[in-house]
Structure 1
């Protein structure tokens, strides 16, 4: 059975605040889908790519370590690289922020190699309503922890969503681990 891997307190509240502060100082761009298409019915968020944010190299080191741990303890996938920058996403109630059910494996040359998705909860849970990350590893839905600094890792082929944010704003950080096609 495919499952979801969780790490509570993978980042401290201070680390989350530092990442958010640095990300928020950079210009945001409207989130796009694989292939650079835009569909507000499917996704409404703003993003900043962490590779564009000075002083955040330590974050990628931590993310790599967390992916390795999750893969060793649960998934055992053939992972070879991190071919994309981590993506900080902001989902705001005033914009109707959400991301409808989808998987992270796409048709593109890079998105087609995604094997594991890792999401870090940067916001404090009381900073927003709605905005739940939900993953469907089978016939049931698993809600990811809303605790600040928690990490959720799951196979990129699983359906998942971020429910609409109805108050405040939710900020998260996502990275994908890549490898050869599943067989």
Structure 2
């Protein structure tokens, strides 16, 4: 995601390139903003093989302005990015009877083989799932409201660059200190027999 945005921003900032005249009409802040949103979606789509996920992630994280027209542009870019990247990465020239190419459809990230055992849900579990959904929606709305109020307070009291810098230092220090303290207080140790390269081991074991 970050790589797609960086490549797009670098290319459009390279004004002395031979193709500068062809992209001249796109050299404005609005088009740059939209193109970076498309680049973010394309990067995630290529990495995980998820064009729809890339579009939604761009909407959630990487876009300050959104419209229906931009949504289709971003989705089209994400939909083209995955097969293009996949074809360039995974085409294998095989020596078969017809000398045909074989294309591997896996994404760049592989999360291992999951258990193929089928798990079925019963109808009695649906009310619980609905309650979880309602609870999550209420918490999300509460978080958005608190974030809105906090943003208003920050805009009112944290105005100067010095205060903004001190705020960033304070937040970074608080988060880092809390993380280190939590690792010490809440141990998550495992026996050496069960340790393998895929497990994350807590750093403060006695």
Structure in which a larger fraction of residues adopt helix: 2
After TM superposition, the score normalised by the length of structure 1 is 0.23
